[in-house]
């Protein structure tokens, strides 16, 4: 064990930490030295999005002390930037300790003379973003680890527009958090009078905001019996999805009861992530039994959305995040034109690793489409930049996230459920399913097929292994992948695009980010992106081909699946 690790352990044993914490450290010393070392070998990093990690004792864990120190640093920066009249809103999800962490953060903010609006109980992350904007707050926090396993928790920090932190504030907050070297520097209590409990009134305003996004209420009136199955996967969605669907006018909503109760142990799933078919399996079972029209699921903090629909043979399938985004973007573009409410300055926003099909649809319809770095904070940042000159309609990314309208500035699984159900009602009124609509879009714009591989490198050297992998791609980039030449490499870390066929280089305008993209001659794109919060690297594959005949969908789809498999094998993944 390194000396610095030992010193951290000793400082916790001798410092102002509660007895239960010290007892747990002593237990680990006797019973699990490896876990103890992992808990103290570094400080849990406050990254550009906040904190996320395993819960437990130690400097490298989510606990009262790491949350308190992070909050003190964040409070210091808010007061430096805005002066003394600072307000924050705080929410939390259904995870174990989320309420405790939220109350800890509230107490620290309040002790620093900051006005705190704390939700009375668990609420979806998007409602926190809405609350910040509605209440005129300068910042906010939501305690959640999103879709991570039950052992994790997290702390997302927000700015005054309701988005997560972007430059320069993200780095400035990190700097202030890093300055807090001891729990003795944290103001833990004494400002309780600064805390106001909120809930029902914000709920009503949020529901009305979501209702205002509806484009075809008259269609919903005709299809109010649309059979909807919904699962919150033991999370916060149960608070808002049912009342929002009711407000939209849907009367035939069925909740997956086994997953309806908020529970941080997530007893029915291995991972509470609607991207995973296992997490949606109970919903799929109910949808099949009821012969439903659509299945919707949200993650624990209800910012992610997944949907299930029936294919052409009547089998239930889960749409991936790219397909869901394509359906939603196309619906709002088409519906706004049909309703006569489209504007010449309408814009949509997606990310650099999301399907290129979004760009093709937008271009054909004369709508500006922008690409930003991964993460909804960058979509929010672009909205801020374009405010007053362009009209934001929708943003989304492949990781099962949509942000509809500009009243909030983070991904919103609640409004996404409502809008996707409206889309299902619209298509049913026309006598077809969302799956059939998807194939119609493929026939019009080309069949785009995407695949994601996520590789986790566990342990203390996990991040180092991933760094070496990226370094290798940069030093010795491939010139051929599969049977196609690499035509272009985009390196967002060095903000440089290089055309390998002509040798031409040009600067990339987006902020620095550790992402590499390989664009092949045949239209294929492959992106490599390490996670900023976990020892994980993601590879995104996108291939496409024209679908000349809708009846050929299954055959062409299988060919593209095989093509992706060969690309993966060729890259040795």
| First-last CA distance in the chain | 33
DSSP 415-478: HHHHHHHHHHHHHHHTT--HHHHHHHHHHHH-EEEEEEEEEE--STTHHHHHHHHHHHHHHS--
Dihedral sign, CA of 139, 140, 141, 147? negative
Backbone φ, ψ for residue 172 (5° rounding):
-65, -40
Under 8 Å between Cβ of 399 and 411: no
Give the Cβ contact number of residue 205 at 10 Å: 16
**CA angle (205 as vertex; 120, 340 as ends), nearest 5:** 150
The answer to whether the CB of 216 falls within 8 A of the CB of 426 is yes
In a 3-state reduction of DSSP, which class is residue 353?
coil
Q: What ranges make up the beta strands (E) of 160-304?
A: 195-198, 228-231, 253-255, 294-298
Give percent helix, percent strand, percent coil of the chain, each to the nearest 5: 40, 20, 35
* Of 94, 146, 415, 525, catalytic: 146
**Is position 399 annotated as part of the catalytic site?**
no
Asked if residues 5 and 37 have their Cβ atoms less than 8 Å apart, the reply is: yes
Hunting for tokens 């000396």 — which residue is that?
3
Determine the Cα–Cα distance for residues 1 and 223; give it in Å rounded to an integer.
65
Q: Is the dihedral of CA 284, 287, 292, 298 positive or negative?
A: negative
Neighbour-count burial for 482-505, b at 16+ CB within 10 Å, e otherwise: bebebbbbbbbeeeebbebeeeee
| Catalytic residue list | 146
């Amino acid at each position: 064990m390194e000396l610095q690790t030992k010193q951290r352990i000793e400082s916790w044993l001798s410092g102002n930490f509660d007895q239960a914490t010290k007892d747990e450290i002593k237990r680990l010393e006797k019973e699990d030295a490896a876990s103890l070392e992992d808990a103290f070998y570094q400080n849990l990093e406050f990254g550009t999005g906040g904190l996320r990690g395993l819960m437990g004792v130690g400097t490298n864990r989510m606990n009262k002390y790491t949350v308190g120190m992070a909050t003190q640093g964040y409070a210091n920066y808010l007061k430096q930037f805005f002066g003394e009249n600072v307000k924050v809103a705080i929410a939390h999800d259904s995870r174990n300790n989320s309420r405790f962490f939220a109350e800890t953060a509230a107490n620290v903010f309040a002790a620093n003379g900051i006005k705190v609006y704390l939700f009375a109980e668990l609420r979806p992350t998007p409602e926190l973003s809405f609350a910040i904007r509605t209440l005129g707050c300068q910042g906010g926090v939501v305690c959640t680890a999103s879709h991570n396993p039950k052992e994790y928790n997290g702390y997302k920090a927000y700015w005054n527009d309701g988005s997560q932190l972007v430059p320069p504030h993200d780095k400035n907050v990190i700097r202030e958090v890093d300055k807090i070297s001891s729990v003795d520097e944290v103001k833990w209590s004494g400002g309780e009078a600064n805390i106001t409990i909120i809930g029902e009134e914000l709920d009503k305003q949020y529901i009305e905001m979501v209702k205002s996004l509806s484009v075809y209420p008259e269609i919903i009136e005709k299809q109010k019996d649309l059979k909807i199955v919904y699962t919150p996967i033991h999370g916060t969605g149960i608070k808002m999805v049912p009342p929002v669907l009711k407000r939209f006018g849907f009367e035939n909503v069925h909740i997956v009861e086994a997953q309806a109760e908020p529970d941080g142990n997530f007893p029915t799933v291995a991972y509470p992530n609607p991207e995973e078919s296992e997490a949606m399996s109970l919903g799929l079972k109910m949808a099949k039994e009821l012969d439903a029209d659509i299945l919707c699921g949200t993650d624990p903090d209800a910012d992610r959305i997944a949907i299930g629909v029936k294919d052409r043979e009547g089998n239930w399938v889960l749409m991936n995040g790219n397909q869901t985004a394509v359906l939603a973007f196309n619906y709002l573009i088409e519906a706004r034109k049909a309703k006569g409410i489209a504007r010449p300055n309408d814009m949509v926003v997606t990310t650099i690793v999301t399907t290129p099909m979004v760009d093709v649809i937008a271009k054909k319809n004369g709508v500006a489409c922008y690409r930003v770095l991964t993460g909804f904070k960058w979509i929010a940042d672009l909205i801020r930049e374009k405010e007053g000159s362009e009209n934001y309609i929708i943003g989304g990314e492949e990781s099962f996230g949509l942000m509809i309208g500009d009243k909030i500035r983070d991904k919103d699984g609640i409004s996404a459920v409502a809008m996707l159900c409206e889309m299902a009602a619209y298509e049913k009124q026309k006598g077809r399913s969302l799956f059939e609509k998807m194939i119609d879009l493929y026939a019009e714009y080309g069949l785009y097929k995407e695949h994601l591989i996520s590789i986790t490198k566990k342990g203390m050297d996990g991040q180092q292994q991933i760094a070496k992998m990226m370094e290798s791609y940069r030093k010795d980039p491939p010139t051929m992948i599969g049977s196609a030449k690499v035509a272009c490499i985009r390196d967002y870390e060095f903000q440089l695009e290089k055309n390998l066929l002509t040798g031409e280089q040009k600067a990339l305008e987006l902020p620095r980010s550790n992402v590499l993209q390989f664009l092949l001659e045949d239209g294929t794109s492959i992106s490599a992106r390490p996670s900023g919060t976990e020892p994980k690297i993601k590879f995104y594959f996108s291939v496409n081909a024209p679908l000349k005949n809708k009846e050929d969908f299954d055959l062409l789809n299988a060919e593209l699946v095989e093509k992706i498999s060969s690309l993966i094998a060729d890259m040795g993944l």
